A and B are shown apart, each in its own frame.
Chain A
Amino acid sequence: MMLLELDHIYKWVTTGGRRTFLLNDLSLKVEEGDFISIMGPSGSGKSTLLNVIGMLDGFQEGEYKFLDETIHNMKEKHRSKLYKEYIGFVFQQYHLIDELTVYENIETPLLYKSVKSNERKALVGDMLDRFNIVGKKDLFPNQLSGGQQQLVGIARALISKPKLILADEPTGNLNSKQSDEIMQLFKQLNEEDGVTIIQATHSESNAAYASKIINLLDGSIAKS
């Protein structure tokens, strides 16, 4: 089943009267259950593409359908509802909230979805169990190693049971062992839970975990 479809997307910024294209006539179809790696040199538009897919960023031309709904002319409120429901983010710098504990960081998306307290407790408890970080639930992010922080970041992305996980260089700040563990986790999530994953990465070995690799160059797909 089709999860999302980008059709001839253009995105540019104008500097000094000249357009610099960030995404240039980019089309992409993602099926539910895909595991896609996006590769490409710095500045090729990997992050921009993820942000567009994740609805954090807009574009100037083209069409974007998510679950058969047209996104680009949708009202902000509707879009945010869609995205809360179906999309989870994992960042290179983890982006945990420093003032919240591990438990609270994972819980926060549920708060925004107005999930009831009991249910929240159960969901977060499951997640802590699953990632084997029950013992760390009351620690603050700065008390964790990078790998552990990224685990929390992924747990947070997964807590609202998204159909799609967008990961922007999720292992960029990790050593290779931690990196492998995260990639194993992604693979497992993809295969066992059927979560669609799109990750941007520089690393060939990480990219290899995916079922499909897209190479980006100057905002366009080079070959697939």
Chain B
Amino acid sequence: MLRNYIKIAWRNLLKHKGYSAINILGLALGMAVTLMIGLWVADELNYNAYFKNKNQIAQVYQNIAYNGKIDTDNAVPRPLEFVLREEYKDKFKNISITSWEGERIMKVDGNTLLMRGYSVQPEFGNITDLKFISGQSEALNDSNSLLLSQNAATTLFGDQDPIGKTIMVDNQHKMMVAGIFKDIPKGNDFADLDYLMPWSLYSNRSWIKNAEDQWGNDSFQLFVELADGVTMSEVSNLIANIKRDRDPEQVKYNPELFLWPMNRWHLYTSFENGRQSGGPIENVWLFSIIGVFVLSLACINFMNLSTARSEKRAMEVGIRKAIGSTKNQLVKQFLIESFVIVILAFVIALGLVLLFLNAFNELSDKVIDFPWSNLYFWGVALLFISITTLLSGSYPALYLSSFKPVKVIKGTFKTGKMAALPRKILVITQFSVSIALIIGTLVVMSQIDFSKNRPIGYETSGLIQIPLRGAEFWGKTDVMRNAFIASGAVTQMASSSSPITDVWSTRSGIGWAGKPQSFQADFNYSMVSYEYVETLGLQMIAGRGFSRAYPSDSSAVLINQSAVRYMNMQNPVGKILTTGKKGEDYTEFKIIGVVKDVIAQSPYRPVKQAIYTFDKYQSASYWDLRLNPKQSMQKNLEIIEEVYKNHFPDAPFSYDFVDQEYAKKFAQEERIASLAKVFTLLAMLISCLGLFGLASFVAEQRTKEIGVRKVLGASVANLWLLLSKDFVSLVVIALLVASPVAFYLMQQWLQSYAYRTTISVWIFIAAAVGALSLTLLTVSFQAIKAAIANPVKSLRTE
């Protein structure tokens, strides 16, 4: 029986090659999209799969309130580690306080490389489940030992055995390689870990020693692995109030410590007012929904084409019923036919996925391998095939199997007007989804454009920043400025303690005249050199920048426009800002200028209040260089490198183009936009494929009518209109359905951006024009073909 069904399905496929091709191709495209999205979603959900104990691993976070607004941050104070170790040790298997991820210059035999990693306590190796090829994490007890990843070891030492070899780190510390661990694969946190340095070395620095009893100095990360049987929420409750209990000074910030489990690090990254508010998980949902939609579009094609051809199949149904088939057997037969088609489509979809997996990886910044050997994948694939079969096959199966044999056999069977209604509804659904996707994509693109066009506050092009690692660069800013300018490659140079495109420090405890008693001020903070304003091309609203002509500028401060609003200050230039308390690190800063707001952080958020103080010790993290526009970029960079190497022969030379760094702020949104573009395009393609099939069916069905009309004098244009207008009206209805829904949803999406575009009516017009012209193009081919056919032929066949 089964064989018989499969045989007839196969013969039907071959007999109607055009329909079969449209059906299978459309379904294959839909399945390929859904498969890709499925792989992507699985990859996202499996993030951190490397860490077997990830459900028991956490980082300590805290909520801190400033003026009633709660910030959530992963920076914690130094003494927290002591308290956890001493008073709560039975709750934890491992605890490690760490530095922030940092780049270090590592030198081996004149070979200098930049490595990324952390300074950690030995337990960190247990928390992150490092697999040691040689050595062990306890080696970090020795403050002169370091651990390297396999990749870093090979880069530094080639084929030699690195164990016991020494590395010069930051031209400061002579470290011995005491262990090699296997690289943590991509798709996990800590995947780019090159080295681990001992905390005991790092914590020798005086500011860290000072931090040992500072509960207000949130400058460290704390990772923990819970003891068996201990839950996250249990520990979160225990530690919540530690900070405020130990230091009365902290009570006003209402600090609340909690554990943030590793299994949420990747997908749940946003916090709003102390509550978790999504993150990349939203994209997982978004793309899952798109995947389901695209697959449904393909299934709708399948249903429509199958039922549209029902008159051709009706006779077979009638005969089968007359010679003894029950309805159930027919349903089974048609489902098996669908199954055959779905299997074929699935095989093609697999091919498409394999073909485009690399491109997809590039687009989505992933390294997804095809899970050939993963039984789980094939299980899901089977489920996927079954669901698609049911989704696409059940309606045609039920519809076709319900024909009355008497009518069919007598030849009085005609599909009535009502029979086309579900088909029309399905087409409307299909185009509503496609049009909504188009509108959504256009809104995302216009939001990106809108934010890109936002005034940045300085000139990004022709500007580079050189990262400075280590003390050897301190005090050299002026010397290097002179050298660079003298070389002719640079027209202006300054330094800063944060990169131009980010803010590394914030400063609280700032005071000013007229500040309300309870107001807890918090500013972005950067130390800059002379000529900072000139180098970046900042616009002064009032006053001036730091100048060599005024020696008193070493205790001056620049503020931005937002800071003026924040402090509610009239005529700020000349007013005084203070830090510290009387008698205790008290310092006064005189405001000498107000600069126009600079977007250093998210281009989607309002610019935060910022202050810039003068870097007396030239201890900057970046040199910012304005390149000579009269010379080629290439030449400028060559000269700069040469000058740099003359002064720092042992330091690696690297630089970032500021405009490229700024563009990275849009990477996440642009990635979503380009994925959305691809999926929308495919959705539209699938819908049009289905429409093409339907149009050819309708043209075929109406061949006789067209012949008669033509004989009666209808022009090709008349006939084209006749055949096209039905489809166009369906698409118009779809437009009316999709537009308000898309408007509402995208309005919701835009809410998460403080700086957002308004949804322009042009987006809807563009979507409408696009959808309609695509429809016309698709339908017209069949319509015109039918309209120019010789009527004699079509009439004679009767």
Interface-forming stretch among A91-99, A179-187, A201-209?
Answer: A91-99
CB neighbours (8 Å) of A95 from chain B are: 315, 318-319, 322, 409
- Whether B323 pairs with A99 at a CB distance below 8 angstroms is no
- Whether B316 pairs with A109 at a CB distance below 8 angstroms is no
- Tell me the residues in window 28-53 of chain A with beta carbons closer than 8 Å to chain B beta carbons: 47, 51
B229 CB to nearest A CB, Å? 58
CB neighbours (8 Å) of A114 from chain B are: 1
Whole-angstrom CA separation of A47 from B405 in the bound complex: 13
- Whether B323 pairs with A104 at a CB distance below 8 angstroms is no
- Tell me the residues in window 78-111 of chain A with beta carbons closer than 8 Å to chain B beta carbons: 80, 83-84, 88-89, 91, 95-100, 104, 107-109, 111
CB neighbours (8 Å) of A107 from chain B are: 4
Whole-angstrom CA separation of A57 from B405 in the bound complex: 9
Q: Is B325 an interface residue (CB 8 A)?
A: yes
CB neighbours (8 Å) of A100 from chain B are: 4, 7-8, 11
A123 CB to nearest B CB, Å? 14
- Chain A residue with the shortest CB-CB distance to B9: A99
- Whether A112 pairs with B326 at a CB distance below 8 angstroms is yes
Interface centre among B8, B321, B323 (most CB of A within 10 A): B323
Provide the B536-578 mask, 1 if CB < 8 A to any CB of A, else 0: 0000000000000000000000000000000000000000000
CB neighbours (8 Å) of B329 from chain A are: 112
Partner of A56, one of B4, B8, B316, B322: B322
CB neighbours (8 Å) of B320 from chain A are: 97, 108, 112
Whole-angstrom CA separation of A89 from B406 in the bound complex: 12
CB neighbours (8 Å) of B15 from chain A are: 99
Q: Is A220 an interface residue (CB 8 A)?
A: no
- Chain A residue with the shortest CB-CB distance to B14: A99
A151 CB to nearest B CB, Å? 16
Whole-angstrom CA separation of A100 from B12 in the bound complex: 10
- Whether B324 pairs with A84 at a CB distance below 8 angstroms is yes
B406 CB to nearest A CB, Å? 5
Whole-angstrom CA separation of A54 from B410 in the bound complex: 14
CB neighbours (8 Å) of B8 from chain A are: 97, 99-100
- Whether A108 pairs with B410 at a CB distance below 8 angstroms is no
Interface centre among B1, B7, B11, B319 (most CB of A within 10 A): B319
- Chain B residue with the shortest CB-CB distance to A92: B409
Q: Is A113 an interface residue (CB 8 A)?
A: yes
CB neighbours (8 Å) of B322 from chain A are: 54, 56, 89, 91, 95
CB neighbours (8 Å) of A199 from chain B are: none
B contacts with A: majority SS:
helix
- Whether A56 pairs with B405 at a CB distance below 8 angstroms is yes
User: Number of residues in B with C-beta < 8 Å to the partner?
Assistant: 23
Whole-angstrom CA separation of A185 from B322 in the bound complex: 22
Partner of A111, one of B1, B321, B410: B1
Q: Is A160 an interface residue (CB 8 A)?
A: yes
- Whether B315 pairs with A112 at a CB distance below 8 angstroms is no
CB neighbours (8 Å) of B324 from chain A are: 80, 83-84, 109, 112-113, 160
Interface centre among A54, A56, A88, A113 (most CB of B within 10 A): A56
- Tell me the residues in window 394-439 of chain B with beta carbons closer than 8 Å to chain A beta carbons: 405-406, 409-410
CB neighbours (8 Å) of B325 from chain A are: 112
- Whether B406 pairs with A80 at a CB distance below 8 angstroms is no
CB neighbours (8 Å) of A56 from chain B are: 321-322, 405-406, 409
Interface centre among A51, A80, A91, A99 (most CB of B within 10 A): A99
- Whether B12 pairs with A97 at a CB distance below 8 angstroms is no
Q: A112-B329, A113-B324 are in contact. Are A99 and B4 (CB under 8 A)?
A: no
Provide the A166-210 mask, 1 if CB < 8 A to any CB of B, else 0: 000000000000000000000000000000000000000000000
Q: A89-B322, A99-B12 are in contact. Are A104 and B7 (CB under 8 A)?
A: yes
Partner of B323, one of A51, A98, A109: A109
Q: A84-B324, A104-B4 are in contact. Are A97 and B316 (CB under 8 A)?
A: yes
CB neighbours (8 Å) of A98 from chain B are: 316
CB neighbours (8 Å) of B323 from chain A are: 88-89, 108-109, 112, 156-157
B326 CB to nearest A CB, Å? 6
Interface centre among A80, A83, A98, A107 (most CB of B within 10 A): A98
A174 CB to nearest B CB, Å? 18
**Pairs across A and B, CB under 8 Å, 6 listed:** A51-B406, A80-B324, A96-B319, A97-B316, A109-B324, A112-B320
Q: Chain A residues in contact with chain B, CB under 8 A?
A: 47, 51, 54, 56-57, 77, 80, 83-84, 88-89, 91, 95-100, 104, 107-109, 111-114, 156-157, 160
Q: Chain B residues in contact with chain A, CB under 8 A?
A: 1, 4, 7-8, 11-12, 15, 315-316, 318-326, 329, 405-406, 409-410
For the complex of A and B, the 4 pairs showing the least CB-CB separation, nearest first, are A84-B324, A112-B324, A99-B11, A95-B319
